[in-house]
Amino acid sequence: MGPARRRVMIASINVIMRGLALVAKFALLLYLSRYVGLEAVGIYGLIQSAAVLGSRFLGWGLYFEANRALVGETPDKQVDIIIAPQWVYMGGYAVFVLILAFSWSHWPASWHVVLPYIVPLMLLNHQIVELTQVLLAKQQTFPANLAIFLNSGWAYAAAAAGLLSPEWRTLDVTLNCWLAGATMAVLVCLFALRKLPFSFAALFRPRLGWLAQAFIISAPLYLAMVGQLVNLLGDRYVLGFALSAREVGIYVMFWSFGNAVQVLVQTGLLQLSQPQLIALYKNNHYAAFKLQLRKITYHVVLVSSVYMVLAVVLIEPVLRLVGQTEAIAFVSLFYLLLLSFFLRLVAEVCQQALYALRADRALITTNLSAAVVMIVAACTGAITGQLLGAGWAVVMAAAYLFASQYYSLRLAIKTWREKNYPYNAASA
């Protein structure tokens, strides 16, 4: 099998696994909405967001620098880069658990039931994020996507358990299945990295110099990531204060359907492109970088457009199939969310290029300002008391994110061109 054919096959398998992971999430949402209630969908969405946000905050953004440093390094150097941040993570875990233990009495009583699940889920999801990013940086996309599938595929088991026995149609069973799936995902990542020359000594040799440098370099990217997550997930918390749990459940359901398009495009196109862009910039291949960036943009626009047309055609039949016909009245919200995800996808192309170009200041500025736009717009939409207002808020934030990152990317590419061709800078 030739290299090109092998790449196509691996990309196809990755898309299939991510597709199955998405179907699993859909199956869980449909199962919860039909057999447990939209309130459960809303609660699950908030727990899921808490796990995602917490898992990102725990890492302090070190993997941003680690991912760029891993590309093109020797196995011995890669081991050092992988091991060094784990010292920080373990300390962060301990501090997090202690803070939670001392603040336990101040949490609402209703949260005491779910907090024992959220804590291990946050820790496991953080390791999944870190280890899958390492695998992607090493271009081991198959085990990375297998781990991502296991971290979602548990939903099949949760739905099957509920269908087999009404007694198992509870949020506790769902969260226990999630814990099992996340644990399996971490084990898959560790197995995939087994061929690296890990040694007993390496596990106890903290790279303090590298950590200090990584902290300094990663700080802007970490803040940018915080802004990105607030931009992506902060809206549901704002809505949670203004709208009922049922309305938040409808919003989370439509948001999850629209997010499927983003995840599929990320898997089929963007996962493979980021290491390539990093390598091209490292080797100072200006023309090849621009060509690759243009190619990625065209593919993202084309593929995401096809997926979105399919989503528009299928949304109402799916709602009727699961008995949520009343949600059809809010289908305009789904269309707005689809538009926002399209804008986010194009912005993500710009973001990947800025990341490869080490334009960290642009990333932090655009993402944090977009988060502010999101919160202000979401509050304005929540004041209206209508879900459609929230949809327009998301579109406004996504449009701002794309416009600001596109402008920043043009400036970064122009700077690189002037550095390489100072006498032709005027023609940039």
Per-residue pLDDT of the chain (428 residues; tens, 9 = 90+): 666 676 667 667 777 787 787 778 777 877 887 777 767 776 777 677 777 766 666 666 666 666 666 666 667 677 767 776 777 777 777 877 888 788 877 776 766 767 777 778 888 888 888 788 778 777 787 888 889 889 888 989 888 888 888 888 887 888 889 899 999 999 998 898 887 776 644 454 556 666 666 667 667 767 777 777 777 766 766 676 667 767 777 887 888 778 777 777 776 677 667 778 888 888 888 889 999 999 989 988 998 898 889 889 988 888 887 677 777 888 888 899 999 999 999 998 998 899 888 888 888 888 888 888 887 877 776 666 677 777 888 888 889 999 999 999 999 998 888 877 655 544 44
Q: Which of 223, 269, 253, 263 is nearest to 344 (CA)?
A: 263
User: What pLDDT, on a 0 to 100 scale, did the predictor assign at position 62?
Assistant: 64
Task: Confirm whether 163 is domain-assigned.
Answer: yes
Q: Are residues 200 and 222 in the same domain?
A: no
Instruction: Look up residue 119 and give its amino acid.
Output: V
- Answer whether 128's CB lies under 8 Å from 186's CB: yes
Q: Which two structure tokens, joined as six digits, stand for 60?
A: 């302090």
Q: Are residues 178 and 300 in the same domain?
A: no
Q: Are residues 217 and 200 in the same domain?
A: no
Q: Of the candidates 174, 206, 238, which is a domain's last residue? A: 206
Task: Confirm whether 137 is domain-assigned.
Answer: yes
- pLDDT tens for 50-101 read 777 666 666 666 666 666 666 666 676 777 677 767 777 777 778 778 887 8
User: What pLDDT, on a 0 to 100 scale, did the predictor assign at position 115?
Assistant: 73
CB-count exposure of residue 303 (10 Å: 0-12, 13-18, 19+): middle
Task: Confirm whether 5 is domain-assigned.
Answer: no
Q: Are residues 171 and 243 in the same domain?
A: no
Task: Confirm whether 11 is domain-assigned.
Answer: no
Q: Of the candidates 206, 221, 238, which is a domain's last residue? A: 206
Cα 287 to Cα 98: distance, rounded to the nearest angstrom: 51
**DSSP H or E stretch at residue 27:** helix 3-31
The domain total for the chain is 2
Q: Of the candidates 206, 233, 264, which is a domain's last residue? A: 206
Q: Are residues 22 and 168 in the same domain?
A: yes
Cα 90–chain centre separation: 22
Q: Are residues 163 and 196 in the same domain?
A: yes
Task: Confirm whether 8 is domain-assigned.
Answer: no
Q: Are residues 35 and 125 in the same domain?
A: yes
Task: Confirm whether 408 is domain-assigned.
Answer: yes
Q: Which of 412, 417, 304, 297 is nearest to 366 (CA)?
A: 412
Q: Are residues 136 and 259 in the same domain?
A: no
Full residue range of the structural domain in which residue 169 is found: 17-206
Task: Confirm whether 217 is domain-assigned.
Answer: yes
Q: Which of 117, 124, 114, 119 is nearest to 151 (CA)?
A: 124
Q: Are residues 202 and 240 in the same domain?
A: no
- Answer whether 356's CB lies under 8 Å from 279's CB: no
Q: Are residues 218 and 199 in the same domain?
A: no
Query: Model pTM greater than 0.75?
Result: no
Q: Which two structure tokens, joined as six digits, stand for 269?
A: 């196109």
Q: Are residues 150 and 243 in the same domain?
A: no
Q: Are residues 168 and 236 in the same domain?
A: no
Task: Confirm whether 1 is domain-assigned.
Answer: no
